[in-house]
Structure 1
């Protein structure tokens, strides 16, 4: 009765602090003598629960908790020194210590003279760590939370404002270098060892699902707040596969446990990726999540079956009725243990690592023998199954079917049908022909299309290809960011299905497909525009819509046009040398379209587009006089004079075949446009000094101070 009265009074005190958090200091200091080590088990259980609740309460301020923390340490230490076996008391005390450790750590930072509190805290910590492996599972779960708090406190964190340490998170980052009680190297080494101990739960052969789930939930804050150890934690999780840490029999309880561990690990990683979508280990994490989805336990549940399958054949035709499995077909070894091994238990990446070196070292003759053995086995089984199927059909047909002869009157073309049936019967004597054989069905030829219809179909096909270019342009490319080697004109147009592949396909349809068909009047007069010119016109408009972003497409197209022109001119020259009666004519396209494309781009260039213009002029296959004249036209605008001169200077320096041509153009710009003379004169002074006027070549007068400084 006295105990129940004391518990009722303590519950009344708890109700008071729940109603008014300001009473916490008074109540906590008042109950410590009542619920201490000398109290009865029921009172100690109530006191441990109340202390754990107090220091985890969100309504009590952190400053008040820090003031109360040193006063309760001695009471907790005295209870832990007892041979306590009550799981509830130990569980609540470890939870309370997990809440107290950051508070005591900050208190010691601010009050280094209070060495007694830090000594008691260390004693409690070492006692919990020493007895952790012997605790029951509920207490081990609380110990995992305590380890997480210790590692979090004794690991440096990000300091938001060094001027206000009270606003920063409790960690080693706010500990002064010369603190008399807190040695930073010692604390870092201890936190590293405790983290390894926390991660050991993933390394044991048979794990406890409750402890694994609790550890995973404790690791999530460390991954989020401690960047220095997050990669180590993630790697430990990525190496953990729950299905490998269980042993048969696979009961429903085991299945639920594995599923819960997989779901918790997946939730931890998915939530981490939500907060940091650009994590450097994104690929590994996604691969691990996919493998978790596939690593379900495949062992059947024997308890859910009605009865086991018979081990002996039902009748003598058992093997003929049941086709062989793939494992029986391809198994060549006589080792029973090796034949019964299920290779699907191995991870796919491990299978790849094993298979590739083995295939590289396999004996070719042995491989050929094995393939021949499997082929012979397959042919034998197939023949037996076909014969058994024919026997079953014959038995199912009965004797009455032999007496039935349908009245069949052949129609026109029956002779041709009977010939085909006789040929089939002669080639396959084992197969019985059908009673009614039909002749081969041939689709009628489509009506011929007119030239206008063919052109319309071609233009619609081109429009569909351009729609694919737009889709590929907006879709992310799998090979983006990887270094690729472009084999030039010999690369395949359909090697992949990205934007470049569709563009290359279009350019080659426009340039190479009609090669040799465009000369003279072969296409006729007064007819519609050829499909190749339609593609070129569409490409031209497509590039001009966004010439800065699609400049690569234009350069690729012009290179294909130039290459095709040279191939056609070479073929025409060879035919002319052979003395053909009709001299072939070659229709060239490069000069036309490079001029049109340059005319469409130049009006929209400004002084900041020097890289665009220089890249275009440097990557097109040939620079001609019309191209340099169009570049020279930029000098008409005083704001684009430097753009003109810099583009011509680049060609003079880095395209020697076009150097004289560009120097002539630059000299014309120098003579024609007065605004361009200062910039053009600097280039001509190096490459063609005789073209500079004497007045322009005289050095500009320098200030007296600058001349004296130069002489000095």
Structure 2
């Protein structure tokens, strides 16, 4: 019978398994099934181990599970299947009262990652009460640890950006769910929020706990605007400098400064993200008051001692004797050069350090080199500089003495003798202007002249043509084209922002002012008009997902799309200008009767898909985008309707549609249809949508009244 493997051997094999799943995520199911018996505290099916071995394996396994469910390489569907298999093992590890802190930390991280997955599973599979009971037990145990465990562990950064496929909401829970009761979950969430906010209403001096809570609340304020004002009001009543009234130790001083800085940065970022929020004035007053209080508390000792004594120079009143002593100038030695040829770099190199000689200064940006040079010259001793210049001068003099002047054979002019003593200048009469022009017209090209100069005198001149360029492959053409587009977009970083000037209207030239707007106009017209009517339509229509050959226009369009998404709030005008060009080009092609590829609708939808996940509840960029693009379709309005899946975004979606109803009469009817569809689909949007429909569709109020009267007519227990 083989001897059991040691812990080091087992961990080595587990590391091999980790490398396998990192290369191919399909093996996660098998690896997790294999490690669960190793990390289960109950030890089912495994031989008895000592405590140290058991802890080492559990640490590795818990850390592996945390990495697995936080990895973006695994699809959400696969994570949803895997999470159900680890619930019991996580619960067992948390229930162990003597569990290692590192294991508990990894288990809590894993539970935070799988909770949305289990929540989604229970929504669609209400029969699985056992899995819901397990995740509830894990959550209860974590809250107990929250009450009793000492702070000091830091969890991973959460990504609560809207549009995350792992995002969950009570709005996703269907009515009459057997396991998930929205009012109970909402009450539980409200209680947990009160529990977190209670930290600011108690006399808690633990800066780690306060800072961690503030960082968590920042995510809640951004992801859950409906509770944002409540959280901000509690923070505004919190005074992190309250403990400064008592005698401070060095430790308490650092803690107070940390809590004050974290609180101040949180509130400043809230105002930067939403300057128009109703609490912006109070936040600004709080931040200014906190900064004044901080300066008064921590700068008091400096004011009592008076201004500090000078450190860079000598005080004339107190250091008179020292000031009279001459400061010796250090001797700077420049070593002479060794015999033999030397480069210019070696001539001016006065440092003996080999590391500096191997450093390539050309990799530094020009402005950094200038700043370094100015700083060095300001602080450099003039005597040392003169000694270095004198040393380089002696080097140059010695090189001239050792090496007489001679021509480099590699740079000799071809066909010319060294000793040209037979040169006889020609003193013919000067030619007039007409003769000179006639000679220039009949002169051969510069390339031919150069070829003639290098030929021997006895060889007749011949015409010279450059060889044809090598044939480029499709990959090389695509790479060169993408590089060209990248350089075109790089020019915009060097151009000035458009100033306040008078535009020439639609008839303006594309590059009349040499600013960023004019360059954008050139780029958009290159994308839309350069190959208009020359694109192949069969492949696009029959196989939309097929790989198409390189297209300069599509490359520019993709670069424009990425450039706009980098900062879409400031570059929404660029997006509108580009889409106007696309719409105009599509209309021209359709009017000409030519069968061509249409791009406007595709890029409008793609831009909306890129912008919508990052919208805030008070963003006006969506309303501006919908009101300024030249064409609106049902597909575009369907994207706006999907915003109502998030209850916090209902107001933004309906406000944007109402603006279309008011300001764009041609699309008023389809916008009202979208509002009515929202009213029929989303319960949270019914009050606002009904208000708009009642005003703009007179018959809607009567239909709504008739529908309300018909509801009691259906007998209870009979489905219609």
TM-score (norm 2): 0.38
Q: Which has the higher contact order (CA 8 A, sep 6+)?
A: 2
Larger radius of gyration: 1
TM-score (norm 1): 0.38
